[in-house]
Amino acid sequence: ELNYPHVEGIPALREAIAAIYGAQPSQVLVTVGAIEANHIVTRTLVGPGEGIAVMVPNYLQIWGMARNEGADLRTFGLDPERDWALDTDALEAAVPGARMIAVCNPNNPTGRAMTATEMDAVVAAAERSGAWLLADEVYRGAELAGGAETPSFWGRSERVIAVGSMSKAYGMPGLRVGWAVAPEPLVEEIWRRHEYTTISASMLGNHLAAAALHPGVRPRLLERTRGLIRRGFPVMEEWAARNPDLVTIRPPDAAAITFLRYHREVASEDLAERIRRERSVLVVPGAYFGVEGHLRVSFGLPPDYLSRGLEGISAVLVGP
């Protein structure tokens, strides 16, 4: 029946999500995409004037919410000169007094996954300051090489919230189903905001997501995504190798995107607009992730389609 589902997510879906993380169903709240999970967690934990430390580059939803709410916003970076390694000095400077630390792992837009040492450093910083750690892990499962999934932050501390969704690694953004995995008392708190915000994800989305995350189906979906990524990246790699004076790329650990550095003195918004206008190719300016001189480009696409798009980018970079 197309009635309201369980507003916290139907039991079959919460059980499937919990099994992925080694959590309990009561520690899972199903949301309308990861974007709602990020929203209600941030609104619950961080108020005006309270500290929040956000990883940059990043999908800047939480960064923008913190600004809108008048929070004490601090950032810590990933170092482009060290293959986007975590800047632990910046992390240590940003965290004291923060109510929450927000990371994205694997990272959007770089596709880099943190090492175990880096993950431990983030957890340790959170525990020293008593901060909650929100880990947006929507690209987990979309690895470029190997069969192992990027480790989750879940279980590394009692104050971790792991966020995921049916988009990205599963290729089902239109279901608009995401989730937060958190300690049960916090699930109850964010559940209240969930009902004020959306009531629930759709009944159809709940049931389709439960089917997709079934142990017999989920591996096939991730293999499909990895196949697209692994066929697409060599096309991008070969294009970059032919244009070293124009672009530099780093192979992502996971995700169907790369954050390419371009070697031209032009603002990323202006460059992306020129590429759209002149070549009908859509890329995302690095400025939208807090880092200039870069473009986020997707490569999880059919090879011929991808090649045409990449040639359009290089044509604009070569031009006046």
- Nearest C-alpha neighbor of 101 from the set 121, 79, 81: 121
pLDDT at 239: 97
Query: What integer is the mean pLDDT of 138-166?
Result: 96
Give the per-residue pLDDT at 147.
Answer: 86
Region for 302 from its dihedrals, namely left if φ exceeds 0, alpha if ψ lies in -120 to 50, beta otherwise: beta
Confidence band, pLDDT 50/70/90 cuts, at residue 29? very high
Residue 1 pLDDT class (50, 70, 90 cuts):
confident
Grouping H, G, I as helix, E, B as strand and the rest as coil, residue 211 is helix
C-alpha–C-alpha distance, residues 109 and 126, integer Å: 23
CA 99, CA 159: separation in Å to the nearest integer? 11
Q: Give the whole-angstrom CA distance, residue 44 versus residue 69.
A: 12
Q: What's the pTM value of the predicted model, to 2 decimals?
A: 0.94
Q: Which amino acid is at 74?
A: R
Q: How confident is the model at residue 194 (pLDDT cuts 50, 70, 90)?
A: very high
Q: 3-class SS at 175?
A: helix
